[in-house]
Structure 1
Amino acid sequence: MKIVTLTLNPALDKSTSIDRLQAQKKLRCEEPVYHPGGGGINVSRAIKILGGDSLAIYAGGGPVGDKIEELLKKEEVNQQRINIKENTRENLMVVESLTGNQYRFGMPGANAGQEGLQKCQDAIKNLPDDVKYLVASGSLPPDAPDDFYGTIAEIAKSKNIKCIIDTSGKALVKASEMGVYILKPNLGELSTLAEKEEISGLEQEEIAKKIINEGKADILIVSLGARGAMVVTRDTIEYVVPPTVKQDSTVGAGDSMVGGLVLSLSRGDSLLDAVEWGVAAGTAATITPGTELCRKKDVEKIFEWLSEKEIK
């Protein structure tokens, strides 16, 4: 198993739809759809959809943790659940059919507990030698220290595992201080790394280069939403711009992008090809409804478009 993902703050994602949201009324919703969610879990699910394999390590507790485990089994995703005492959270997304508006309700995460956090660290320490990539993705539990991903990155580095971090806020800043293989911020998170309120398109390249030169990452992949991604290394800056598509839902787009990226890297593809696979997967996720991730046929079609564009 070359790829492992780590999810410390997973969620059961529930999505439904109604005609229109109205205050003070009992609203009749459609039958809800459930998906296992959280950064690393979604990355592993996307990898499976794209024909690859990974191991999803996650902290899960209570009946919701049981449901996530059951759903991952159905999707045939390899998993290692770290049991915690508190019940894992549920998130809700409601689509208003008449307008297409989406309303996303994120619930507070469960505390992992000191024992749960230690077990997560131990799980990374005990990974076999054939693991080449570790994706630590998503938010931290409320009781985890801000530098927890930094500690995970340090353990990965000691085992010669390439660590990819996709998180936000203080967790992102602390992880970057450790120095990792790939950081995948969006523009808002790039601002956080630069200690700025916001950054303009004119300065994003300069800031990205500074982060690389400070040793915070070997590679910086900045997701630019519908405009694709900026790929920055010590020597190069390149952009991967996807075709314009009609977006249905952006839920899971970033995780699908990371899934396509790391799967491609694990197969020995070049960095640019891997980012194109990632952008194709992320773009494909935006054309699926609700909390559904990408579909393989859509990813292949978009990747083919990107490859032909590159040749020209």
Structure 2
Amino acid sequence: MNMKKTVLFLVALLWAISVHAQQDTLRVSTRFTSHVIFSTDITYADMSDSRAIAAKVVEQNKNMIALKARDRFGEPCSVSALESNGRMWTFVVVYDDSPHDLIVDTRGSGREPDKDEQPGSREKGGKKKEPSRRGTASTWKGGDAPMLDEVSVMRRGLYHIGTSGYGITLLCENICSYSDITYMVFSVDNGSGISYQVTDATFVIESRRQSKRTVAYDQTTFPRSRYGSLSAGPGEKGRIVYSFDKMTLSKDQVLRVYFYENGGQRNLVMSISPNDINKARSLLIK
């Protein structure tokens, strides 16, 4: 009888631990560093395979963990973290050449769902509502920031920004803002007979006035998240949306966007003026 009680107790304990420990999937690569933000400082962290991934608690912010793949790996591994508030997290880590989200913010994961987000909630007609979607620029910003897939299908607002060559046409179709978030939408049209593959664009804020007597300070800026792809097969098109922390430029600066072809030399560059950046269409205005 005592043995039976002990087994039941252990089963209940393991179930409680599994419910309490929050689990999600992290995608990491060798090229990009991913960050996970927690509500409180991390007091314990563990990796299941230190040969596949590198992880560390950020010294300046003890509530952040930085992760990066040491090399490509096929079998998933895991990272666990314990917050000072007692909350335990376990993440399954998989390899991805171009992760969709480079920043995962767990601080909003403990909120109570809204009424219309309750599982199984139904509309008036009896139709089951779809659960709310994740994966937005608001993975690091709170509030009701538009999702990247929603920005992707918005009406085109820009027609004068682009570059072309080698049968490839790249366009900046939209620059939008929502509070302290800047969105940029790019499209690629491959008119050549060879596939065009770009893992990611490189964004550099440069000085418009170069002089031999002055030092030029170029600043590379990194997107917070992305949705879509810049790769396109022969005769095909592609589209991608990037979100950034609030971006503004002075009149002496310009944003250069560099597109480097994977395994090829069809590299292109696009220039975006401070006027286009600073006058980004506000998505707060309905």
TM-score w.r.t. length of structure 1: 0.27
Q: Report which of the two has the higher share of helix.
A: 1
Q: Report which of the two has the higher share of strand.
A: 2
Larger of the two Rg values belongs to structure: 2
Structure of higher RCO (CA pairs closer than 8 Å, 6+ residues apart): 1
